[in-house]
Amino acid sequence: MQAFLISLTTIAVAEIGDRTQLLSLVLAARYRRPLPIIAGILCATLANHAAAGFVGIWFGSLLKPRSMELIVGISMIAMALWTLKPDKLGAETVSTGAMGAFLATLTSFFIAEIGDKTQIATIALAAGYPNLVAVVSGTTAGMLVANVPVVILGKAFADRLPLKAIHYVAAGLFVILGAIFIGRAVWR
């Protein structure tokens, strides 16, 4: 349960203002069909984060527990610094084809998530926690917690968020998690 809750919280906070959240806003404005967009986000995130989780578990299996916890801790602190640099949505991220809302969301969201900070965080979380299902379920739930309100409420909701403060909270969360992992590595 701890892996699920930490994964959910970490990703939900890190996703605020992220390019995939901005993509959710663009897709919602373009298609105005929340259910297919949400279904696309769910499927794309499950596929992307499951793959990231397998990479994380593989990476974690190569290292001794102490080294792995130290690397995960350092990567979480690096994520904190990355979180302080807000993303901007580029035109190349949005699918402009004639596909339906679901397929446009599925493909564009999956591609946008490649190399994204939430995908990297999923790799680190999977390396740090042995329960892949809990990590991927938590990271996917975190993505939905952050993106579903944007899809449903659209721009009016997004404009009211104090993004700078949220980025600082997210960075703080990553620093705390990094410190926990580094502490576990040092006192092991």
Digit-coded pLDDT (tens) for 125-179: 998 898 999 999 999 999 999 999 989 987 565 556 566 776 677 678 778 878 8
How high is the pLDDT of residue 54?
95
Give Cα separations from 131 to 15, 114, 144 (angstroms). 22, 22, 20
By CB atoms closer than 10 A (0-12, 13-18, 19+), residue 1 is: exposed
What whole-number percentage of the chain has pLDDT above 70?
83
43 C-beta neighbours (distance < 10 Å), count: 16
Residue 121: is its pLDDT beyond 50?
yes
Digit-coded pLDDT (tens) for 33-60: 889 999 999 999 999 999 999 999 988 7
Question: Please, are residues 140 and 15 in contact by the beta-carbon 8 Å criterion?
Answer: no
Question: What residue numbers bound the domain in which 37 lies?
Answer: 2-186
CA torsion 76→43→8→150, rounded to 10°?
Answer: 100
Domain count along the chain:
1
122 vs 61, higher pLDDT: 122
Distance CA 39, CA 47 (A): 12
User: Nearest Cα to 170, choosing from 67, 87, 112?
Assistant: 87
Please tell me whether residue 153 adopts helix, strand or coil conformation.
helix
